[in-house]
Structure 1
Amino acid sequence: MRPERQPSSVPELTDPLDVGGVTLPNRLYRAPLLEHAGNGPEAVETLTAELEPAAAAGAGLVCQGATIVRGEGGCAAPGMTRVHDPDFVADLDRLTDAIHAHGGRIAIQLEHGGLRSMEAWHRGFRDRNPGLEQLAVSPPPRPLRLFDRLGFLDYDAHVLTTEECYDLAADFGRAAAAAADAGYDLIHLAGANMGILHQFASPFYNHRDDEFGDPARFFEVVLAAIRDRADDVPVLTKVPAETEAPPGIGPTLSTADCVRLCQRLDAAGYDALVPVNGSVFWDMSVIRGAFPSRSWRDERFREGYLDAFGSRPRAALVAAANWAESLVYSRESAWNEDLCRRVCERVDVPVLCEGGIRDRGTIERLLGGGSPSADAVGMARPFYAEPELPARLLRPDAAADGTAVVCEDCNNCVVPQAAGEPGVCRTPAVLERAGEHRKAGAYERE
């Protein structure tokens, strides 16, 4: 365990950070977001347009959003990029070169959606791909089977055999090796938010009686598969706690379970950890904030919603559930702070904190003090409104001025993604404030 910090050792946001031998120039990072780049001929240009501004503005690390390690199935949302093809990944060196030209570092997040994949929840995608099965750690839990019977989900799950678990881990390893060859500095595993890694860790999803019944085992095997193929690239992962699951739903991962899992992954050789609180379902516990009424009412997205949910009544019910969740999961500042602090006290590797961090004062609190909550801090949705946000947060006077993002956590950027729309800020007042900052030169890097 790391020693208690002395006042003289408290890091600044602008201090470098070593992660598995890779030096980040500072401790501010752009957390993974859905870029909707796909794999078409413009994919690399789309990714570069999305990610390069953060590096140009000074972000120490830029995380590319979740990419799928297999060529079929596994996408949790429309427009996700697949990284099963080494030739496609090799072309991403144009993206990594663009990030490195600004002195930044870049991570690629690897994922498979498992039971959260579009073949379970997206009606139009399921109709167009009737032969696709979801990969499952165990048979779907009872609450998900109920949603299946009610017509909101459609499960045709294939439970992975022990050998198939190793095969899937090998796919993560091959994708990581190709990414390292393309110039990515770090590999970031999507270990939370209900992807398949989370499902292996969760007692709600995992009822296996083989070695993969151990919540840490698939994480360990994936890391070994990466090390076998790319032994010098640092690997970090999100780690879930299911503290926000609805009452009566279980069993779930407690805060203590998450801390123990982080200790296991530290011992296994992971180079950094990102602990996050959430639920066992894909719901607003992941993002929190206001009900995105503007996006639900927008006629431009209606056909996309109908394709995703199958009918107007179903879309209306999803919107109603979204509204109810917004009351339960109201926005909290730095909602993973306490969890990250507990993990910091028990592991030696860097701990990255994200989730509801919206101002420089909160960043200083997370990094500082004798009992730190983070070694680096990340933001995600605010980058939709301010692609060059780091330029404002890294200014020497940002701490004294209490510099804050313009994002209001209204979530109007997020809901249209279910309809295949890109993640962009759609709130006029927020965009107006970002425009004022741009006119004042706030995004010009010193």
Structure 2
Amino acid sequence: MTGREKRATDPADATLTEPIEIGGVELRNRLYRAPLLECAGNGPDAVETYIDELEPAAESGAGLIFQGASIVTESGGCAAPNMTRVHDPAFVDRLSALTDRIHDHGSRIFIQLAHGGLRSMSLWHSEYRTRNPEEGQLAVSEPPVQLRAADRAGLIDLDPDVLSTAEVYDLAEAFGRAAGYAADAGYDGIHLSGANMGIIQQFLSPYYNDRDDEFADGVRFLLAVRDAVREHAGAIPLVTKVPAETAAPPFVRTRLDRDDAVTIAERLAEAGYDALVPVECSVYWDMSLIRGAYPDRAWAAEELRSEYAAVFGSRLRARAVSLLNRLQARQFPAEPGWNADLCRRVRERVDVPVLCEGGLREREHCEAVLGGPEPAADLVGLGRPFYAEPRLPARLLAGKRALCESCNNCTVPQATGEPGRCHTPRIVRRRARLEREGAYSSE
């Protein structure tokens, strides 16, 4: 049965509150918390941090929770401060306290597995590089000429370690082992970080992948990961993001277009991936990932200026990043469901659930993505709004709009290691008032 034949039997107007399955795991509704940076690390308080961050979404009605990008290797690979590593089975076993709490509320939790590759902190974070002078970046191939030029100009610090064929298989095995640890800890599924300039996107992208072995076909890496996950974690549901690099700068001539993304999605669905998350992004880690306003309050925060200087190497460089941030805010304004068109194209070609996220703030927007004569997706997710409202599902499912204004003041401080939280006072005050009024009760 083809994807199109299966879709012909779908309900014409699926709603947000209808249950759905991913790889045999039943979800009570079609609303999910998209992966975010929880900044929990691996310290003694990591598990409690995750519970504090993720339990409110389950308690207030989200059908599915995605724990944010967790690094599968013992060293390197972190794209931001305070990311969690999941290479250690003893640590991951402690996370069963989190999965139990999520299940107590009738929700499911998938863990997102990741590795930054070239995007790792040693590339861009000056203070981290000073503390870890020997650490470089795993690379799919020799870095693109534009990154080499930026390195020569002193804007970044390239130290690429191009993976051999054997090392690629070892990396896929690391994903598989982490998936096995997660399954043992009670996670309901695995989500691969296939975009945001992580190493999976680097394998898929012709901008980064100039290999001459079997992994010149970047999908082969995802097939190797699939095999490793199946070996270590059995039939646990397996989901991945699928990138289309449509937001790449004009000087990038070789990239993934929408047709490429659809083809990749078809191959992954046929290969046994249980759900797909198509996203439009860039070849770089830029504001195409967090579309919206220029975060003026975050950049102007006096208490963070010295930290920005330490991160980017100087106050002058921090100001240069801020200026680039301002220009990109004009290029990538927030739009409700900005990935919906790509999701719709993918959904027409595959017979597994398609997940849509990006700019959704109202139940009306969510229902429009799920229903109508040509639905774009089978589940819808929100990310940054959870920084402003940890118990957002209670209000969204009741038909209320998320408080988040896509101002992005929550994102820039995370480069310094700040936890993900709303930094916009009027929104913080509104949430406090709603809490007093009982607006987040799921009763």
**AA partner of residue 113 (structure 2):** L
Q: Select which of 250, 254, 257 maps to 1:251.
A: 254
Q: Any idea what the Cα deviations from partners look like across 1:321-357, whole Å, max 9, x if unmatched? A: 1111111111111100100000000000000000011
The Cα shift of 1:409 comes to 0.5
The Cα shift of 1:5 comes to 4.9
The Cα shift of 1:365 comes to 0.5
Where does structure 2 lack aligned partners over 5 or more consecutive residues?
none
- Distance across 2 between alignment mates of 1:248 and 1:442: 48
**AA partner of residue 310 (structure 1):** G
- Distance across 2 between alignment mates of 1:436 and 1:7: 41
Q: What does residue 415 of structure 2 align with? A: 418
- Distance across 1 between alignment mates of 2:253 and 2:122: 24
Q: What does residue 184 of structure 2 align with? A: 181
The Cα shift of 1:300 comes to 1.6
- Distance across 1 between alignment mates of 2:318 and 2:46: 30
- Alignment partner of 1:429 is 2:432: no
Q: Select which of 131, 142, 149 maps to 1:128.
A: 131
Mapping for residues 17-416 of structure 1, pairs under 5 Å: 17-395=20-398, 398=399, 403-416=400-413
Deviates more, 1:121-130 or 1:166-175: 121-130
- Distance across 2 between alignment mates of 1:301 and 1:441: 34
- Distance across 1 between alignment mates of 2:11 and 2:47: 43
The runs of at least 4 aligned residues of structure 1 exceeding 4 Å deviation read 4-9
TM-score w.r.t. length of structure 2:
0.98
Identity %: 59
- Distance across 2 between alignment mates of 1:164 and 1:349: 31
The Cα shift of 1:230 comes to 1.0
Where does structure 1 lack aligned partners over 5 or more consecutive residues?
none
Q: Any idea what the Cα deviations from partners look like across 1:115-156, whole Å, max 9, x if unmatched? A: 000010001111111111200000110111111111111011
TM-score w.r.t. length of structure 1:
0.97
- Distance across 2 between alignment mates of 1:384 and 1:72: 28
- Distance across 2 between alignment mates of 1:300 and 1:107: 35
**AA partner of residue 335 (structure 1):** W
* SS at structure 2 position matched to 1:138: coil
Q: Select which of 10, 14, 17 maps to 2:17.
A: 14
* SS at structure 1 position matched to 2:283: coil
The Cα shift of 1:280 comes to 0.4
The Cα shift of 1:248 comes to 2.1
- Distance across 2 between alignment mates of 1:244 and 1:388: 32
- Distance across 1 between alignment mates of 2:12 and 2:335: 29
- Distance across 1 between alignment mates of 2:423 and 2:136: 35
The Cα shift of 1:249 comes to 0.8
Q: Any idea what the Cα deviations from partners look like across 1:211-268, whole Å, max 9, x if unmatched? A: 0000211011101100011112100000100000011213000000000000010011
- Distance across 1 between alignment mates of 2:406 and 2:104: 32
